[in-house]
Chain A
Amino acid sequence: MDILLTYLLAFGLAVPLGFLIAHLYAAPASRFTAGLLRVCGVDASRGMGWRHYGAALIGTNVVLGLTAYLIYVLQGALPLNPDGIANMRWDTALHTTASFITNTNQQHYSGQSGLSYFSQLVAIVTLQFVTPAVGMAALFAVLRGLKGQTNVGNYYLDVTRAVGVLVPSAFVLALLLTSQGVPSTYGGAKVAQLVEAQTVEGQAVTTQTIPVGPVAAMVAIKQLGTNGGGWYGPNSSVPLENPTPLSNLFSMVSIIVFPISLVFASGLFLNRRRFGGAIIAVMSVTSAALTFGAVMAERQPNAALLGLAAPGGNFEGKEVRLGTDATALWASLTTQTSNGSVAGMHDSFNPLGGLVPQLGMFLNDVYGGIGVGMINMLVFVVLTVFIAGLMVGRTPELFGRKIEVREIKLASLIILLQPLLVLGFTAATVSVPGVTGNSNPGFHGLSQVLYEYNSAYANNGSGFEGLGDNTPWWNVTCAIVLILARFLPILGPLAIAGLLAGKKAAPETSGTLRVDTPIFAGMLLSVMLLLQLLNFAPTLVLGPVAEQLTLQTTTPTTGVQK
C-alpha cells in the first residue's frame, strides 16, 4: 500500500509541478524577483554565457560555504542556543560545510546534541534551500545550451526562481508534519519524569530529556530538497521526526516529487515531451526494480534471529509503526534521489537489502538529486548517442548538433571520476589499519567503507551509520570527495552544453538517430547499467554478496526459515 500510494501521489503531483517549473523558467523575471536581485547588484534582464554562469555558481557557493563554516565553529557564542551546544571541531565543521554546500547532508555529528538552533536554521536550512536551487538552475542552464542558446540564462535569477518554488512547498509540508507530531517550537528541550525510575551505573535516573525545536521547518526542506540531513541523529527513524505512517507517506512523496517533476519540466522546456517521457520510463523501470529488491530482501528474517524468534521481517534497526515494507521503500527512494534521509538503519539491513541503496547511489540518476539527477542522465544520453551512432555508422548528434571529441572526452571524464574517487578512497582507507572505524567485522566492514564514499560521491548523505566516521581522516577525505563530486559533474555538462550550443544545428531528417523512441530508451538503460556494473561489480561481490553467501552457509536453516 505504501509503495503504490507513494508512487501514485508523487507522479500525480510531479506532472503539474513540472509544468509550472518549465513555464517559470521560460518566463521573464517577476517584478518582485527582479527587485530582490537588484538589491544584490544583479540585473535580472541580463543573461550569461556558460563560463560566466559557472563562475557565478562557484563564487556564490564559496561565499556561502565560508559563512556556514564560521557559524559552525563559533556557534557556542552565537544566539539561539538554549541547550548550550559547544563550538564544532575544525574537521567536523569542514566536513559539515562540504556536506551541506553540496546538497549531500552526510552527517558526522548528531544534530540534537551537536548543533545549536542558530546553526540548524541559518547554516543548515539556508543551504538546504539554496543547494537544490543551484542544482535546478544548473539543469536549466544545460537545457538552454542543448536548445542551442549560447546564452544559458542568468544564474542568480535561476536560483531565485527555484527557491521561490521550494519555500511555499516546504511551508505546506512543515504544517502537515507538525499536525502529525513533528515539534515546532523555539523552546528548549522538554524534561519528563520517568514512569519507572532507572539505575544507570549506580546512579538513579528519574528523568528523560526530550530534545525539541523548530524541527518541522527543517525536516520539510530536508525531504523536498533532496537534502536528507535530519534534526535528530538517526534521522526519520526517530518518532519525533517521523511520527506516523501518514507523516512517513508525506515524507516519501516529498523525496521523489521534485526529481520526477524536473524530468517532466525538462521535456517541456526542450519542447521534446516524448524525450522527457522516454527518460521517465528508463528511470521508473530502474526505480521499480530497486524498490522490489529492497522490499523483498527486508521481508526475509534477520539471520541473527534464526531459531531465537518467530520468523518475520528484518526488524533490527526498523520501527514498528513504519514496518519493513515502508522502510525498505524509503531506503530505495532516498538513495535513488540523492536525498539520503533514512527511516531505518541501513547498516542492519539484510545484505541484499543493503545492496539496493548502494546500487541506487552508483547510478545516481534515478531520479537523482534536484537538477543534478537529470544532468547525470543527460551525460549518459550523450554517451549513448555516441555509442549508438558508432553502432549504426552515423555521426553522433544530439538535438541536431554534432557530438565530437571534446564533448565525449568531458562526458567520459565525468563518468570515470566516480570509480576513481569511490574505489580509490575505499582502497586507501581499508589498506591503512586503524582508520576505518568499522563497527562490524568481515565482509560487512568493507561494505561500510564503500557505502560512506559512495554516499559522499552521490551527494546522498545516508550511511552505514555504525561507522566511527567523526575522525579527521574520514572528515577530510569525505570533504574532498563531496566537493569534487558535486561541482565537476555540474561544470562538465554545462561546458558540454555550452560547446554544443556554439555549433550549427543540422535539420532533423529521417536519417537522424531519434532519442525519443523505446529502442533508444532501452539502449540508454543498457549503457547506464552495464557501465556502472562494470565499474562496481567486483567490490559489491567482495562486500554484500559475499556477506549474503556466508550467512546462508553458516547459519542453521532447517525448519526455521520461511
Chain B
Amino acid sequence: MTTPSTLTDVTPTDTAPQPGFSTWLRFALMWLVLCGLAYPTVTTLLAGSLFPAQANGSLITRNGQVVGSALVGQTFSGAGDFIGRPSAAGSGYDPVNASGSNLAPSNPELRKRVRELSAQIAKREGIPANQIPADLVTASGSGLDPHISPAGAEVQVARVAQARDLSEDRVRELITASTERGPLGLGGVGVNVLKLNLALDAAAPGTGR
C-alpha cells in the first residue's frame, strides 16, 4: 500500500543517555524569551506602526477629546438618542467588567428582565411588544456590543426624529451611514449606536441630552 511519492523519515537511530533537569530549564527559558518576549514585541510594534488607529483601540475623538471607541458601546437614555442593547458589563458598558448575563433561557430571572424591558420599550417607542426586535431586549455576550440591528434602529426613528426636530428620512440617512456589515454577507448587519448618536449631535446641534 505505498503511494507514488514515499515519504522517508530520516530520524536518527541513536538512543544515547538523555539530558535532564538543566536541559528542561534551558529549554523552558528559551521559549519564555522567544515566544513570550520576542514574538509579541516584534508583532505588537509592527502591527502598531502599520495600523496605528486600530492598534490603539479605534478611538473616536470630538473637538480633540476622546469620547469613546468605535468598538465599545455606551449607555444612552435620552429621547433624542438611539438606545443600545441592555448590558451586563458592570453598571452597563463597562469594559473592565465586560460580561454577558449568562442567564439560561430557562432561568426565570431572564424572563423577568425581558418582561420589564419589553414593557419599557413598548411604551417608549409606542409599538406592541411583539414588534420589538429580539436584540433590543437581550444582553450581548461581551456587554459591550456597539451595535443594534437595523430593525432595532427603525423602531426608534419616530421618537428620535421628533426629539431632534429632524425629518424621519434624515434620521434614516444617518442610520444608513452608521450601518456596518461584513463583506460577502459574512456575519450580521449592525447599526453603530455611538457613531449614530454623534452624527445626530452634529446634524442637529443642541438638541441632544
Q: Is the CB of A49 within 8 A of B74?
A: no
Shortest distance between the CB of A160 and any CB in chain B (Å) = 9
Cross-interface CB contact of A466 among B51, B72, B102, cutoff 8 Å: B102
Shortest distance between the CB of A277 and any CB in chain B (Å) = 11
Q: Is the CB of B24 within 8 A of A59?
A: yes
| 9 intermolecular pairs with C-beta atoms under 8 Å apart | A47-B15, A59-B24, A190-B56, A192-B59, A210-B95, A214-B44, A309-B133, A312-B135, A316-B110
**Which one, A241-249, A255-263, A427-435, is touching chain B?**
A241-249
Residues of B within 8 A of A196 (CB): 74-78, 81, 209
Shortest distance between the CB of A322 and any CB in chain B (Å) = 5
Chain A residue at minimal CB-CB distance from B140: A319
With A163-B31, A190-B57, A305-B138 known as contacts, the answer to whether A233 contacts B133 (CB < 8 A) is: no
Cross-interface CB contact of B188 among A175, A192, A321, cutoff 8 Å: A321
What sequence of 0s and 1s flags, for each residue 12-32 of chain A, a beta carbon within 8 Å of any chain B beta carbon? 000000000011011110000
Q: How far is the CA of A156 from the CA of B20 in the complex (A)?
A: 12
Tell me the residues in window 149-204 of chain A with beta carbons closer than 8 Å to chain B beta carbons. 149, 151, 153-154, 156, 159, 163, 167, 170-171, 174-175, 178-187, 189-196, 198, 200-201
Q: Is the CB of B47 within 8 A of A174?
A: yes
Q: Is the CB of B105 within 8 A of A303?
A: yes
Residues of B within 8 A of A149 (CB): 9, 11
What sequence of 0s and 1s flags, for each residue 315-331 of chain A, a beta carbon within 8 Å of any chain B beta carbon? 11111111100110000
Q: Is the CB of B47 within 8 A of A216?
A: yes
Cross-interface CB contact of B118 among A125, A308, A323, cutoff 8 Å: A308
Shortest distance between the CB of A506 and any CB in chain B (Å) = 14
Cross-interface CB contact of A238 among B23, B25, B144, cutoff 8 Å: B144
**Which one, B146-154, B156-164, B169-177, is touching chain A?**
B146-154
Residues of A within 8 A of B92 (CB): 198
Q: How far is the CA of A15 from the CA of B78 in the complex (A)?
A: 54
Q: How far is the CA of A513 from the CA of B14 in the complex (A)?
A: 33
Chain B residue at minimal CB-CB distance from A65: B28
Cβ of A205 within 8 Å of any chain B Cβ, yes or no, is yes
What sequence of 0s and 1s flags, for each residue 78-111 of chain B, a beta carbon within 8 Å of any chain A beta carbon? 1001000100000111111111111111111011
Cβ of A391 within 8 Å of any chain B Cβ, yes or no, is no
What sequence of 0s and 1s flags, for each residue 198-209 of chain B, a beta carbon within 8 Å of any chain A beta carbon? 100100000001
Known: A63-B28, A212-B57, A232-B95. 12 other contacts (CB 8 A): A46-B15, A174-B47, A181-B70, A248-B187, A271-B1, A301-B134, A309-B136, A315-B140, A319-B140, A347-B100, A351-B105, A466-B103
Residues of B within 8 A of A372 (CB): none
Q: How far is the CA of A440 from the CA of B94 in the complex (A)?
A: 23
Interface residue total, chain B, C-beta cutoff 8 A:
128
Residues of A within 8 A of B18 (CB): 48, 52, 55-56
Cβ of A443 within 8 Å of any chain B Cβ, yes or no, is yes
Residues of B within 8 A of A344 (CB): 100, 141
Chain B residue at minimal CB-CB distance from A445: B104
Q: Is the CB of B12 within 8 A of A309?
A: no
Cβ of A505 within 8 Å of any chain B Cβ, yes or no, is no
Chain A residue at minimal CB-CB distance from B27: A40
Cross-interface CB contact of B106 among A41, A209, A442, cutoff 8 Å: A442
Shortest distance between the CB of B45 and any CB in chain A (Å) = 8
Residues of B within 8 A of A122 (CB): 32, 36-37
What sequence of 0s and 1s flags, for each residue 102-142 of chain B, a beta carbon within 8 Å of any chain A beta carbon? 11111110110011001000000000011111111111111
Shortest distance between the CB of A418 and any CB in chain B (Å) = 25
Residues of B within 8 A of A192 (CB): 59-60, 66-69
Q: Is the CB of B96 within 8 A of A112?
A: yes
* Chain A interface mostly: mixed
Most buried by B among A1, A28, A240, A311: A240
Q: How far is the CA of A193 from the CA of B63 in the complex (A)?
A: 12
Most buried by B among A62, A156, A181: A181
Q: Is the CB of B106 within 8 A of A234?
A: no
Q: How far is the CA of A135 from the CA of B148 in the complex (A)?
A: 41
Interface residue total, chain A, C-beta cutoff 8 A:
153
In order of increasing CB-CB distance, the 5 nearest A-B pairs are A245-B182, A245-B187, A237-B141, A466-B102, A323-B188
Q: Is the CB of B56 within 8 A of A183?
A: yes
Q: How far is the CA of A348 from the CA of B143 in the complex (A)?
A: 13
Cβ of A272 within 8 Å of any chain B Cβ, yes or no, is yes
Cβ of A464 within 8 Å of any chain B Cβ, yes or no, is yes
Chain B residue at minimal CB-CB distance from A274: B1
Q: How far is the CA of A178 from the CA of B56 in the complex (A)?
A: 9
Cross-interface CB contact of A547 among B8, B14, B106, cutoff 8 Å: B106
Q: Is the CB of A210 within 8 A of B1?
A: no
Cβ of B58 within 8 Å of any chain A Cβ, yes or no, is yes
Residues of B within 8 A of A185 (CB): 44, 48, 55-57
With A27-B10, A42-B27, A234-B141 known as contacts, the answer to whether A175 contacts B46 (CB < 8 A) is: yes
Shortest distance between the CB of A206 and any CB in chain B (Å) = 11
Q: Is the CB of B43 within 8 A of A308?
A: no
What sequence of 0s and 1s flags, for each residue 42-79 of chain A, a beta carbon within 8 Å of any chain B beta carbon? 11011111001001100110111001000000000000
With A112-B98, A192-B66, A196-B78 known as contacts, the answer to whether A246 contacts B183 (CB < 8 A) is: yes
Q: Is the CB of B129 within 8 A of A36?
A: no
Q: Is the CB of B106 within 8 A of A351?
A: yes
Residues of B within 8 A of A64 (CB): 28, 31
Q: How far is the CA of A249 from the CA of B71 in the complex (A)?
A: 17
With A243-B71, A560-B130 known as contacts, the answer to whether A317 contacts B100 (CB < 8 A) is: yes
Cross-interface CB contact of A304 among B13, B105, B132, B151, cutoff 8 Å: B105
Residues of B within 8 A of A439 (CB): 102-103
Q: Is the CB of A129 within 8 A of B35?
A: yes
With A126-B35, A179-B54 known as contacts, the answer to whether A322 contacts B137 (CB < 8 A) is: no
Cross-interface CB contact of B9 among A194, A269, A347, cutoff 8 Å: A269
Residues of A within 8 A of B129 (CB): 307-309
Q: Is the CB of A60 within 8 A of B27?
A: yes
Shortest distance between the CB of B101 and any CB in chain A (Å) = 7
With A42-B19, A184-B47 known as contacts, the answer to whether A47 contacts B11 (CB < 8 A) is: yes
Residues of B within 8 A of A22 (CB): 7
Tell me the residues in window 313-361 of chain A with beta carbons closer than 8 Å to chain B beta carbons. 313-323, 326-327, 342-345, 347-348, 350-351, 354
Chain B residue at minimal CB-CB distance from A59: B24
Chain B residue at minimal CB-CB distance from A268: B7
Q: How far is the CA of A378 from the CA of B26 in the complex (A)?
A: 33
Shortest distance between the CB of A459 and any CB in chain B (Å) = 19
Residues of B within 8 A of A153 (CB): 11
Q: How far is the CA of A196 from the CA of B26 in the complex (A)?
A: 54
Residues of A within 8 A of B7 (CB): 22-23, 26, 268-269, 271
Cross-interface CB contact of B71 among A220, A239, A326, cutoff 8 Å: A239
Most buried by A among B9, B70, B131, B181: B9
Residues of B within 8 A of A464 (CB): 102
